[in-house]
């Protein structure tokens, strides 16, 4: 009688797991095989495997990050050297009894190639029944879908620049109300924020950094309304070296600027500044302020001396509650690049977002 072969339960289970995972494909969503990578890049894989314990990502055989829940993705900075890379992902599932591997190779940039990489930040205001995730949103640039690298619910340290009109038309208490309104929110900024003030009439003053606890009304107690108005020049003069929210308080008039509306809009679009405008009148530059605010992802508000403090407080509260989308654009087109942000789910509503930016 031939000997009876016995099969252990462990062997049966391993065979079962192997059969179950045989049809489960692990593949890269981004980047794709033979594509080119530069700078911060999202590494993401997808699979229909179940019971996933972790996914490890490797770049040139070095561990780049670990993802433990969907979407299985990490961000890796490839720097500015356009060389070839080996990118691998290793999946473990079902108590680490299942393992899958996938690898791609990126392409090096040749002398005949050119590529432009821009990391774009898009401030966005959302209404959501829960904490929003990157997968809840669809971002397109010039109609092309973009991969969201990050969706930040807490804003990073920033500079708040108050651009205050001190021209003759800001008399009758308007200038004093503007200064008091700006002062009212300074104490509410976060410890790692910075604050600046720029006064302008027909001339644009220099940006003055405010020390912690310093009040504009104290530093400029004697300032009086005088002269003409160079509103577009004041806004276009911003040269931010870091994330900046600009809050413009003006009667909306402009009689002295050398910058055209188009040139000023282009300068704002290149700078990455998020512009908020509050007007105490209906001057000839209000349309410019409305468009600049809309393009940059800020807001435009018509106010009054009595309402100004409430409106400025509301702007800072809005800034603190906004999300920031970060994506990498590989577009080589110069000029205006339009941005669209739309929800993928009914649980999320997009209230407002930056509409585009200028690139060279």
User: What does the pLDDT look like over 33-57, one tens digit per residue?
Assistant: 888 787 778 899 999 999 999 999 9
This prediction has a pTM of 0.65
In a domain, 3, yes or no: no
Q: What is the largest distance, in Å, between two alpha-carbon atoms of the chain?
A: 113
Together in a domain, 165 and 131: no
Domain count, the chain: 3
Is position 213 within any domain? yes
Q: What local confidence, expressed as pLDDT, does residue 7 receive?
A: 46
Instruction: For tokens 């807490």, name the residue.
Output: 154
Q: Is residue 19 part of a domain?
A: yes
Q: Do residue 303 and residue 240 come from a single domain?
A: yes
Cα–Cα distance measured from residue 122 to residue 89, given in angstroms and rounded to the nearest whole number: 29
Say yes or no: 236 and 295 in one domain. Answer: yes
Please give the pLDDT value at position 10: 43
Contact 45, 72 (CB under 8 A): yes
The C-alpha atoms of residue 162 and residue 183 are separated, in whole angstroms, by 10
**246 found inside a domain:** yes
- Residue 113 belongs to some domain of the structure: no
| Phi and psi angles of residue 186, each rounded to the nearest 5 degrees, phi first | -60, -40
Decide if 209 is inside a domain.
yes
75 & 63 share domain: yes
Residue 1 lies in a domain: no
Q: How confident is the model at residue 11 (pLDDT cuts 50, 70, 90)?
A: very low
CATH number at residue 199: 3.40.50.410
| Co-location of 166 and 211 in the same domain | yes
pLDDT tens digit sequence for 93-104: 999 999 999 999
Residues 176 and 297 grouped into a single domain:
yes
Parallel, antiparallel, or unpaired for β 159-165 and 194-200? parallel
- Tell whether 165 and 266 lie within a shared domain: yes
Same domain, 172 and 309: yes
355 and 287, same structural domain?
no
Q: For the domain that residue 72 is a member of, what is the CATH number?
A: 2.60.40.10
Residues 186 and 294 occupy one common structural domain: yes
Residue 39 is assigned to a structural domain of this protein: yes
Buried b (16+ CB within 10 A) or exposed e, 1-18: eeeeeeeeeeeeeeeebe
Domain containing 69: what range?
Answer: 9-105
- Residues 257, 245 within the same domain: yes
User: What is the tens place of the pLDDT at every residue in 311-360?
Assistant: 999 999 988 888 999 998 878 777 889 999 999 988 899 988 999 998 86
In whole angstroms, give the CA distance from residue 272 to residue 357.
Answer: 8
Same structural domain, 199 and 64: no
């Amino acid at each position: 009688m031939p000997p009876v072969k016995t099969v252990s339960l462990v062997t049966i289970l391993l065979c079962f797991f192997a059969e179950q995972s045989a049809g489960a494909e692990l593949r890269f969503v981004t980047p794709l095989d033979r594509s080119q990578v530069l700078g911060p890049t999202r590494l993401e894989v997808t699979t229909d495997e179940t019971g996933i314990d972790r996914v490890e990502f490797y770049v040139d055989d070095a561990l780049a990050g670990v993802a433990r829940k969907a979407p299985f993705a990490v961000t890796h900075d490839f720097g500015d050297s356009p060389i070839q890379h080996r990118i691998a992902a290793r999946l473990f599932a079902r108590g680490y009894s299942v393992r899958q591997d996938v690898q791609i190779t990126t392409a090096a940039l040749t002398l005949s190639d050119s590529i432009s990489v821009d990391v774009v930040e898009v401030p966005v205001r959302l209404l959501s029944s829960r904490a929003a995730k990157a997968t809840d949103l669809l971002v397109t640039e010039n109609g092309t879908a973009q991969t969201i690298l990050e969706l930040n619910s807490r804003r990073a340290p920033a500079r708040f620049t108050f651009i205050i009109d001190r021209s003759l038309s800001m008399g009758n208490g308007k200038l004093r109300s503007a200064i008091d309104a700006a002062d009212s929110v300074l104490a509410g900024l976060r410890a790692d924020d910075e604050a600046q003030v720029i006064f302008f009439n027909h001339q644009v003053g220099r940006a003055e950094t405010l020390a912690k606890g310093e009040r504009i009304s104290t530093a400029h107690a004697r300032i009086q309304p005088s002269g003409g108005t160079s509103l577009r020049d004041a806004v276009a003069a911003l040269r931010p070296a870091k994330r900046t929210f600009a809050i413009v308080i003006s009667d909306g008039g402009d009689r002295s600027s050398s910058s055209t509306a188009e040139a000023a809009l282009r300068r704002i679009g290149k700078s990455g500044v998020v512009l908020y405008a509050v007007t105490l009148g209906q001057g000839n530059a209000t349309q410019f302020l409305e468009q600049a605010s809309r393009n940059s992802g800020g807001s435009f508000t018509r106010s009054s001396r009595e309402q100004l403090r409430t409106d400025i407080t509301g702007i800072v509260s809005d800034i603190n509650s906004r999300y920031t989308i970060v994506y990498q654009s590989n577009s080589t087109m110069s000029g205006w690049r339009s941005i669209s942000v739309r929800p993928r789910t009914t649980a999320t509503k997009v209230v407002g977002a930056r509409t585009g930016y200028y690139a060279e």
